[in-house]
Chains A and B, each alone.
Chain A
Amino acid sequence: MTWQGNLLHIHIAPAASYEMEELAEAQLIAGRGIVGDRYYLGTGTYSPKPDVREVTLIEIEVLEAIANGEPKIPGFKRSLAPEDHRRNLTTRGVPLNHLTGKRFRVGETILRAARMNFPCKYIEELLGMPGLYEGLLNRSGLNCSIEVGGVIRPGDPIVPMDE
């Protein structure tokens, strides 16, 4: 599959429930996470549960669909800003759902997609947005490990490695 996308936003939060903060550049550490993020620091909601969460990604295309009211969810008509979805990286042009088990480059770093992210009711309550859980089912992004660390910035190209 041939595709090429890029990185739009980088967000981190220092601990569970804290507002996400946008970064102009971020340091990715192989096998650990993004410097300053809750899953790098071990202070995330799911930190006590072992899983791959070094970096999480979501497609801007999903946020655009939600803003357009697709799909229609009874009682739910809201838009989700990049700082609200609680994933670390917002991408454009990257088919995240197709990448499980594969490696890809973000700027100078290499990520390996471990599993599709599954939305949680927690975010619905945190943001006071009932219906968001359903709105993110099957498209709430990707959980990745970091194989090669480095510095990333918004605008960096995202390209496939394993065909």
Chain B
Amino acid sequence: MATLPIDIAHLMAGGLVLMSFLMIYQDRLSALLDVFTAHAVVLAASVAWQAHLQGDTFHLYLTALIALAFKAVVIPMALARIVRRLGIHREVETVVGTVPTMLAGIGLAALSIVLMMRLTAGADPLAREDLAFALTVVLLGLLMMVTRRNAVSQVVGFMSLENGLILAAAGARGMPLVVEIAVAFSILIAFIVIGVFLFRIRERFDTVDLAALDEVRGDRA
């Protein structure tokens, strides 16, 4: 029974991977935002569990709280508002179909697990399996960013990628406080930046479909 706490940690990290898989085939924006909220909640739970396991890590609880407050509440609400205002609850235009995307996702998950397990044979077992899951979430986030054309879903893909990074940072025992707060802070800045861009893109095009931007790419004359 000594491995139970570690098993729970793996269960939650695995849950995060599952949420990432759910995200890559959501074809409606409102559903995508709901799954992202769940993604953030699982992340917060996972980080909090890590905090419990590592003991005496107030800053990890804080990280979990930040993840819960910003990523599960504030940001999905703001994005949902943008989506509602623009009236784009309709389908997400995926560049690649669902089946190839899922297959690519499964390939990426297999790749990251094989890579991590081979290369980190000497490391702490809790950290190393967490890292494999974290890398999977990061790669799935990347996959989502390249398969979507819509600005909102690219932003969601980017944030799920950041969630993977936080999972990795939480899994690294005793990573210093400075860095974590800074990480959370940068994500906040990043979000503000994106918000500004979304606002401006709408101002110009009345749409958040990035295909509209492709038409104005320079150097085509």
Partners in one complex: no
B residues near A (Cβ < 8 Å) are none
